[in-house]
Structure 1
Amino acid sequence: MTSDTRGGDTRTMYDRMLAGDLYIADDPRILEASAAAIDLITAYNATTPRQEPLRRLILEQLLGSIGEGSGIRAPFYVDLGSRIRIGARTFANFGLVALDVAPITIGDDVMIGPNVQLLTPTHPIAPGPRRDKWEAAEPITIGNNVWLGGGVIVLPGVTIGENTVVGAGSVVTKDLPANVVAVGNPARVIRTLEDDDVAPERQP
């Protein structure tokens, strides 16, 4: 394996990517991992719910891990797939985009509405490095029993605490604590959840 000295670093761009450091996505290992993920996700998106055993097999090959009883409605889109870990009994509706340049960890019993985006990649604000194609990524963590409403966007580096509800269309730019309801762009906490909050509600 050859090293890449751009930026004065002797590591490969693939190793830099895995470390969460700036990298350029022209490393053959990055390109191969991306191509393999595209093959699998294309196959997955061509299946129907009647092909559940095949769908499960593809997800197990694509993802870092997926727990018992979890399911994802097609279409589903990833960067690498292998850096996504999903707990048990989690459900993601149509159109989930999970760009996993950095790890994406999703807990147990999570509900993900349609067209949610989990975005780990970052790009330099300075025009020069951005033009030179440098990029990086920061991990996303979604705690147990979180509900992300339809169209929610979670930005790089965000952690959402367990039981928290994020209202439809919100953009989560910073960490949210456990047991709260958050809405808006940027998402802000509007109330704390109590143990007796059991009545069904519309998405906030």
Structure 2
Amino acid sequence: MPGVVSNPNLHIADDPELARDSLRAIGLADRYNRIWAQDRSGAAGILRELLIGLGEDSEIRAPLYRRDKLEAAKPIAIGNNSP
């Protein structure tokens, strides 16, 4: 992905930076799932922390699963007008 610097240690299971980023992503996903129904604005703020890009008028409905890219703390971007 252009502009994204890859961590050469992503394949190392005990890399402390990867572990920290993964735990942060899991925590943000949990917070998002807890508040989405009551506070859409707050949930959108969490998405902006979690994702490298969130397009205009885009929404991800809870629950946000902590699998794949979130647990690996890989960059994710959502384009414009994504329901």
Partner of residue 3, structure 2: none
Deviations 1:144-170 (A, max 9, x none): xxxxxxxxxxxxxxxxxxxxxxxxxxx
TM-score normalised by the chain length of structure 2 = 0.77
- Structure 1 residue 90 corresponds to structure 2 residue 82: yes
Please give the alpha-carbon distance, in whole angstroms, between the structure 2 residues aligned to 1:26 and 1:87: 32
Q: Which sections of structure 1, spanning at least 5 residues, go unmatched? A: 1-13, 18-22, 92-204
- The structural deviation recorded for 1:47 is 1.2
Partner of residue 22, structure 2: 34
Partner of residue 40, structure 2: 52
Checking the alignment, whether the CA contact within 8 Å between 2:9 and 2:15 is kept in structure 1 is no
Identity of aligned residues (%): 36
More strand by share: 1
More helix by share: 2
TM-score normalised by the chain length of structure 1 = 0.33
2:18 partner amino acid: I
Partner of residue 71, structure 1: 59
Please give the alpha-carbon distance, in whole angstroms, between the structure 2 residues aligned to 1:66 and 1:49: 19
- The structural deviation recorded for 1:15 is 1.8
Please give the alpha-carbon distance, in whole angstroms, between the structure 2 residues aligned to 1:36 and 1:48: 18
* Greater length-normalized contact order (CA 8 Å, ≥ 6 residues apart): 2
Deviations 1:49-72 (A, max 9, x none): 330110110000011110011111
> What does residue range 82-121 of structure 1 map to in structure 2 within 5 Å?
83-91=75-83
The SS at the match of 2:80 is coil
Checking the alignment, whether the CA contact within 8 Å between 2:59 and 2:82 is kept in structure 1 is yes
- Structure 1 residue 15 corresponds to structure 2 residue 3: no
Checking the alignment, whether the CA contact within 8 Å between 2:53 and 2:76 is kept in structure 1 is yes
2:35 partner amino acid: T
**Equivalenced residues, count:** 72
1:87 partner amino acid: G
Please give the alpha-carbon distance, in whole angstroms, between the structure 2 residues aligned to 1:48 and 1:86: 17
